[in-house]
Homo-oligomer: A and B are copies of this chain.
Amino acid sequence: MAAARRAGPVVVTGGAGAIGSVLVRELLARGREVRIVDNLSGGRRAHLPPIDPPRLTLIEADLKDPAQYASAFDHAAELWHLAANTDIQKGSRNPRLDLEDGVLASFHVLEAARTHGVRRAVYASSSVVYGYPSVFPTPESYGPLEPQSLYAAAKLAGEALFSAYAHTYGFRVLLFRFANIIGPNMTHGVLFDLFAKLLKDPRRLEVLGDGRQAKSYLRTEDCVAGMLLAAERVDAPVGIFNLGTDDRTSVREIAEKVVAAHGGTARIEYTGGERGWVGDVPQQLLAIDRIRALGWRPRWTSSEAIDRTIAEMVADRRAPS
């Protein structure tokens, strides 16, 4: 992106979340003005550096009500749309959730960008758009896409909207399909869930599924570095990039590592079944040739990312809070 545009403010939805807060720090380090729009449902002020207008602002807002946050788009240069429901199972129990916090939120932030003349946009999509693919590692060109959950449907609908805004209104958009992203400050995901269970009952650890689900886990820092690199290098109406690692880690391996980090005494009990829950995708490994061709590579393998994140979680628990 041109220097003049790079100087303009960046709107980051979900900027107080686990991925968003890492992105925000990186943007600030690059001298960008950052305007966070977040409803603080998953995000936390504590994840952020001190609010310091105009360098860093936070608007606490519901993305479905553009009047609450339209001002963030005044003279903005870019939109980074990371906000979403993050609880796939909750979306299955309440189908409106992903419609509203996914599809409608994406529509309204795109409209806010369009009506304010913002034409650069980045969207945090997910490997879940592939459904349960028949090809591993799965390339960006894989099809047909069969979302397995309402969450996945909302992610694909969001991609569709960003693409339409590119081709209809002259946006330049980047769509990133994330592997499982892990790192500090997570409020969901397998590591978070397993730790929470062990804190509740250190003698046994219930694991959903048969433990053979295997996915690629990518550290937040690697994820953010990949997005920032593509944002610098790519200038096309629509750029689509997988972001993941070359390896995958089974749920069994993760559960055993979590138990070991917790003293190694808990008994692991698998609920059984190929899928952890309805709408889950049991196997996930993304082809990352495209993003690699831009010069990116993950600093940590999936296995290393798991180890690092477990170590952080154990240290956090031991730290006085």
Of the candidates B156, B167, B238, B278, the one whose C-beta lies within 8 Å of that of A168 is B278
Q: Which residues of B contact A168 (CB under 8 A)?
A: 92, 148-150, 278-279
A111 at the interface (CB under 8 A from B): yes
A163 at the interface (CB under 8 A from B): yes
Q: Which residues of B contact A142 (CB under 8 A)?
A: 141, 143
Of the candidates B103, B141, B148, the one whose C-beta lies within 8 Å of that of A157 is B103
Per-residue 0/1 for A272-298: is the Cβ within 8 Å of any B Cβ (1 yes, 0 no)? 000000110000000000000000000
How far does the Cβ of A158 sit from chain B's closest Cβ, in whole Å? 9
Residue tally, chain A, CB below 8 Å to B? 37
Per-residue 0/1 for A109-127: is the Cβ within 8 Å of any B Cβ (1 yes, 0 no)? 0010010000000000000
A234 at the interface (CB under 8 A from B): no
Per-residue 0/1 for A96-111: is the Cβ within 8 Å of any B Cβ (1 yes, 0 no)? 0001000110010001
If A111-B95, A157-B156 touch, does A164 touch B144 (CB 8 Å cutoff)?
no
Interface pair B143/A145, CB less than 8 Å apart: yes
Q: Which residues of B contact A131 (CB under 8 A)?
A: 163, 167
If A145-B145, A238-B146 touch, does A152 touch B140 (CB 8 Å cutoff)?
no
Q: Which residues of B contact A196 (CB under 8 A)?
A: none
How far does the Cβ of A115 sit from chain B's closest Cβ, in whole Å? 10
Interface pair A99/B92, CB less than 8 Å apart: no
Q: Which residues of B contact A148 (CB under 8 A)?
A: 163-164, 167-168
- Among A111, A131, A145, find the residue whose CB has the most chain B CB atoms closer than 10 A: A145
Q: Which residues of B contact A157 (CB under 8 A)?
A: 103, 153, 156-157, 160-161
A15 at the interface (CB under 8 A from B): no
How far does the Cβ of A112 sit from chain B's closest Cβ, in whole Å? 12
A113 and B222 CA atoms in complex are apart in Å by 42
Of the candidates B144, B145, B152, B167, the one whose C-beta lies within 8 Å of that of A279 is B167
Q: 18 A-B pairs, CB-CB below 8 angstroms? A: A95-B107, A95-B114, A131-B167, A141-B142, A141-B144, A142-B143, A143-B144, A143-B145, A145-B159, A147-B163, A147-B164, A147-B167, A148-B164, A150-B164, A152-B160, A153-B160, A167-B279, A168-B279
